[in-house]
């Protein structure tokens, strides 16, 4: 009588996932892991592995509150706090109930954000000077020199994502004349669980021809796992969340 053994090793799980993708679709062009840097998601990063520098970094001061406060900024490169070459390439906005999203993407986004900070610094200095005048105090020079706005050089492209229905996980958007859709998938679930709906946190990205573009596999037990320590990297503590496979 034969015996069977089971293991929960992440390496075996990733290998099985890759075999499942390759058996049905082209091999992935890029594989990235999503890590959470600071609870509850104010900073996240995409990296090939925990010991390698991040390729993309996300900062969102208020990730889980009102729509007006949800303003993530996406950087190309590692944590801008430690990497001076990291620049902002995208920023996002959303409506209430997470129904639609708007993104500004391109190399010009970094200058747009810098101009916004320069305007805010000048307004704050004027208010501060006005309040000091009410108390008969002289004007105090700013700690940092105030800069003028600069012309935005580079592309700033806008695109939107929306939910086709009110109660759904799917997100649709159009890019370069082609329609894409993020939707839930049960392809990574065990065979006995694939017949049940609403229990998977995984996503797939397909185009208008229903061809697979990318997959997004979430670790279902990530919330119960401790963060990993990587002393040799800039982000010394990271919490693994998602495996992202770019098929095309």
Per residue in 7-31, pLDDT (tens digit) is 333 333 444 444 444 445 557 788 9
Specify the pairing of strand 30-38 against strand 43-47: antiparallel
Per residue in 57-94, pLDDT (tens digit) is 999 988 888 899 999 999 999 999 999 999 999 999 99
The three-point CA angle 192-34-214 to 5° equals 60
> Is residue 18 within 8 Å of residue 247, measured between CB atoms?
no
Residue 40 has pLDDT above 50, yes or no: yes
Per residue in 228-240, pLDDT (tens digit) is 899 888 888 999 9
Q: Rounded to the nearest 10 degrees, how much is the dihedral formed by the CA atoms of 35, 168, 72, 106? A: 100
User: Which of 168 and 211 is assigned the larger pLDDT?
Assistant: 211
214 vs 245: CA distance, rounded Å: 5
Residue of 175, 231, 233 lying closest to 205 (CA atoms): 175
Q: Rounded to the nearest 10 degrees, how much is the dihedral formed by the CA atoms of 160, 165, 167, 171? A: -30
């Amino acid at each position: 009588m034969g015996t069977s053994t089971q293991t929960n090793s992440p390496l075996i799980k990733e290998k099985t996932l890759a075999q499942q993708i390759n058996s049905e679709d082209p091999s992935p062009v890029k594989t990235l892991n999503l890590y959470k840097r600071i609870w509850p998601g104010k900073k996240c990063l995409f990296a090939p592995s925990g010991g390698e520098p991040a390729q993309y970094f996300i900062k969102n001061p208020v990730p889980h509150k009102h729509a007006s406060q949800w303003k993530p900024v996406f950087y190309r490169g590692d944590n801008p706090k430690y990497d001076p070459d990291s620049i902002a390439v995208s920023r996002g906005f959303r409506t209430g109930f997470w129904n639609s999203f708007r993104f500004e993407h391109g190399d010009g986004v970094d200058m747009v954000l810098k101009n916004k900070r320069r305007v805010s610094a000048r307004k704050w200095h004027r208010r501060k000077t006005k309040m000091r005048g009410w108390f008969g105090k002289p004007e105090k020079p700013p700690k940092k020199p105030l800069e003028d706005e600069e012309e935005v050089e580079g592309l700033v492209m806008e695109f939107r994502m929306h939910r086709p229905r009110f109660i759904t996980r799917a997100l649709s958007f159009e890019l370069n004349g082609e329609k894409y859709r993020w939707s839930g998938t049960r392809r990574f679930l065990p065979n006995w669980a694939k017949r049940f709906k609403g229990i998977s946190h995984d996503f797939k990205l397909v185009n208008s021809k229903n061809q697979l573009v990318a997959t997004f596999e979430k670790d279902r037990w990530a919330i119960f796992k401790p963060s990993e320590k990587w002393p040799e990297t800039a982000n010394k503590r990271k919490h693994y969340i998602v495996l992202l496979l770019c098929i095309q």
